[in-house]
Structure 1
Amino acid sequence: MKRRLRNILFSIFVLFFMVLGGYLIFIAQGFVVNLKELRIEKTGAIFLKFAPRDAALSIDGEKTDYTQSGFLESNGLIVKDLVPGSYDLKLSKDGYHDWGKNLEVQSGLITSESHINLWPKTLPAETLIKENVRDFWLTSEGVVHKNGNNRIIFNDLVIRGNDVALSDSDSKILITKEREDYFLVDLKDSRSAVNLTHLFNSLKQRQLALSGTVPITEIFFHPFSPNKIVIASKTSLYTIDVKKVEIDKLVTLDEIKSVALSVSDALILDGNDDLMIINLPLKTSLNERVKMEPAEIFTTNSDGTSVFVLTPAGELKVYRRSPGKTDTLAANVREFEISPEEKRIAVITLGNELKIAYPEEFEGDVKSEAGTIVKIPDAFRGNIRKVSWLADSPNYLMLLEGNDLIVQEIDTRMPANRHLLQSGVLDYETEGKNIYILKVNGELTVSSTAEGV
Structure 2
Amino acid sequence: MNIHSRRFLAGFFILIFIIIAPLLILYTAGYRYSIKKQRLTSAGSLVIETEPRDATVYLSNHDKSYKTPARINDLTSNDYQITITKDGYYNWNKTLKIESQQTTFAENIILFSKASATPILQNISGNIYPDHQHQNIIFTQDSTLKIYNIETNKILTIKQLEDNQIVQDINWSINNNYFLIQLHDNDIIQHIVANKNNPTNTITIENYLQDIKNPVVKFNRTNDDRLLILNQNNLYGAKINLSSLEISTFYSFPKDLLISDYLVYKDQIFFLEKTSDKQYLKKIVPTNKNNDKNNRIQLSSSEYQLIDFIDNKIFLKDFTKNTTFIINSGLDNVLFEQNDLIQYDFNAKSKKLAMTTPSEINVVDFNNYPFNVITVIRVSNGLQKTFWYFDPNYLIFQENNQLKTIELDERDQRHIITLSPENTSDFFLDSTGKFLSLLTSNSTFEKLILIQ
Please tell me the TM-score bracket, short chain as reference. 0.7 to 0.9
Specify the code of the residue in structure 1 equivalent to 2:418: H
Give, in whole Å, the separation in 2 of the partners of 1:284 and 1:398: 47
SS state of the match for residue 403, structure 2?
strand
Give, in whole Å, the separation in 2 of the partners of 1:106 and 1:270: 60
| Residue 213 in structure 1 maps to residue 236 in structure 2 | no
Match of 2:195 among 167, 186, 191: 186
Where in structure 1 are there 5+ consecutive unaligned residues? 203-211, 363-368
- Counterpart of 2:97 in structure 1 is 104
Identity of aligned residues (%): 13
- Counterpart of 1:289 in structure 2 is 295
Greater relative contact order (Cα < 8 A, sep 6+)? 1
Give, in whole Å, the separation in 1 of the partners of 2:13 and 2:108: 55
- Counterpart of 2:404 in structure 1 is 406
Specify the code of the residue in structure 2 equivalent to 1:48: I
- Counterpart of 2:437 in structure 1 is 436
CA contact (8 A) 1:407 1:420 kept: yes
Partner deviation per Cα, 1:349-376 (whole Å, 9 max, x = no partner): 4xx32232434459xxxxxx96444433
Specify the code of the residue in structure 1 equivalent to 2:87: D
CA contact (8 A) 2:221 2:266 kept: yes
SS state of the match for residue 339, structure 1?
strand
Give, in whole Å, the separation in 1 of the partners of 2:102 and 2:322: 41
Give, in whole Å, the separation in 2 of the partners of 1:382 and 1:170: 36
Where in structure 2 are there 5+ consecutive unaligned residues? 148-154
Give, in whole Å, the separation in 2 of the partners of 1:170 and 1:308: 21
| Residue 90 in structure 1 maps to residue 83 in structure 2 | yes
- Counterpart of 1:26 in structure 2 is 29
Q: How many residues align?
A: 415
| Residue 131 in structure 1 maps to residue 123 in structure 2 | yes
Query: After the TM superposition, which residues 135-174 of structure 1 pair with which residues of structure 2 at under 5 Å, given as runs?
Result: 135-139=127-131, 142-149=136-143, 151-154=144-147, 155=155, 157-159=157-159, 162=165, 163=167, 164-167=169-172, 170-174=175-179
- Counterpart of 1:340 in structure 2 is 347
Report the CA distance between 1:387 and its aligned residue.
0.9
CA contact (8 A) 1:355 1:373 kept: no
Query: After the TM superposition, which residues 38-437 of structure 1 pair with which residues of structure 2 at under 5 Å, given as runs?
Result: 38=38, 40-60=40-60, 62=62, 64-66=64-66, 72-73=68-69, 77-125=70-118, 127-139=119-131, 142-149=136-143, 151-154=144-147, 155=155, 157-159=157-159, 162=165, 163=167, 164-167=169-172, 170-178=175-183, 179-199=188-208, 201=209, 212-220=211-219, 222-233=220-231, 235-243=233-241, 245-250=246-251, 252=253, 254-260=257-263, 266-271=269-274, 274-277=280-283, 287=292, 289-291=295-297, 298-299=306-307, 302-304=310-312, 306-311=313-318, 312-313=320-321, 317-320=325-328, 324-328=332-336, 332-341=339-348, 343-349=351-357, 352-360=358-366, 371-377=371-377, 380=379, 383-384=382-383, 386-412=384-410, 413-414=412-413, 416-432=415-431, 433=433, 434-437=435-438
SS state of the match for residue 342, structure 2?
strand
Flag the structure with higher strand content. 2
TM-score for both structures, normalised by structure 1:
0.75
Report the CA distance between 1:419 and its aligned residue.
0.7
Moved more, 42-51 or 180-189: 42-51
CA RMSD of aligned residues (A): 3.9
Report the CA distance between 1:85 and its aligned residue.
3.4
Give, in whole Å, the separation in 2 of the partners of 1:9 and 1:334: 78
Partner deviation per Cα, 1:171-210 (whole Å, 9 max, x = no partner): 23121233312111123222321111222x26xxxxxxxx
Q: 1:236 to 1:56 in 2, by over 3 A?
A: farther
Specify the code of the residue in structure 1 equivalent to 2:37: E
Partner deviation per Cα, 1:107-141 (whole Å, 9 max, x = no partner): 4444444333223334342x332334433333588
Partner deviation per Cα, 1:253-293 (whole Å, 9 max, x = no partner): 6344444566775544443554444669x799975714265
CA contact (8 A) 1:407 1:418 kept: yes
Q: 1:4 to 1:424 in 2, by over 3 A?
A: closer
Specify the code of the residue in structure 2 equivalent to 1:193: T
